[in-house]
Amino acid sequence: MKKIKVTKDGPYIVSGSVPLAKETAEGEYNGGPERWHTERKFTTGEIYSLCRCGRSGNMPFCDGAHLKFGFDGTETAGYDKFVDKAKLITGPGLDLLDWYDLCSLARFCHLGNNTWNDVANSDNQKSKEDAVYSACCCPSGRLVPVDKTTNQPIEPELEPSISLTEDPIKDVSGPLWVKGGIEIESAEGKSYEIRNRVTLCRCGKSENKPLCDSSHVGCKFKDNL
């Protein structure tokens, strides 16, 4: 079973032979990127530990720096379900669920005429396709398009894996992009909602731990990989 365990004031313990890669947001359109590109794949074992404090000298893996620097990893994210918290935005050909608190500032929503405008004009096929593409590139899962015919969410097909994200436009290293429905368990032993797309903080500065709140941009986090 693939799983991520958040440890108290310590690293993420990843188990189940979860693939680990580095992905860079490529291209530039209206201040945001256009696509994801896999830069590197890491060799890992069945179990490995990923840095959560942002201070490891062996990135992306934990080297005990959280102990040296007295990292406070207190989890403040709730266990709410996405559908209960997300705002429903309706369009003529497509709806959109948007939970702003999950924003990791990846900015794929800038594509096209921006995701929200494209939803508003989704009776146009190109706008509809642009809205689906931009929303599905969102690593945090903040934005989820909804098929108006079936009332079902539209999600990209993602294999269970983790990616270290990189944002060259902002010149920062981004969060951990957790894909494909991997369970994330808190230090207290309670599981967060299992989703297809989640971003976890690895700069150590998020105020919504263990989830990313885009603090990596403000603190100019770099993993130097």
* Predicted pLDDT at 70: 97
Q: Which residue positions in the chain have pLDDT lower than 50?
A: none
State pLDDT tens for residues 160-187.
Answer: 999 999 999 999 999 999 999 999 999 9
Question: Nearest 5 degrees, angle CA 59-CA 61-CA 65?
Answer: 80
Task: Determine the straight-line distance between the first and last CA of the chain, rounded to whole angstroms.
Answer: 28
Residue of 155, 143, 84 lying closest to 115 (CA atoms): 143
Q: Which helix (H) or strand (E) holds 132?
A: helix 125-137
Q: How many CA atoms lie within 13 A of 219 on its CB side?
A: 21
pLDDT for the residue 4: 98
User: What is residue 112's predicted lDDT score, i.e. its pLDDT?
Assistant: 95
Predicted local confidence at residue 109, as pLDDT: 97
How high is the pLDDT of residue 77? 97
pLDDT at 220: 98
**Confidence (pLDDT) at 192:** 98
DSSP state, residue 100 = G
Three-class DSSP category at 179: strand
Specify the pLDDT at position 6: 98
**pTM score:** 0.97
Q: What is the pLDDT of residue 159?
A: 97
Please give the Cα distance from 129 to 211 (Å, whole number).
28
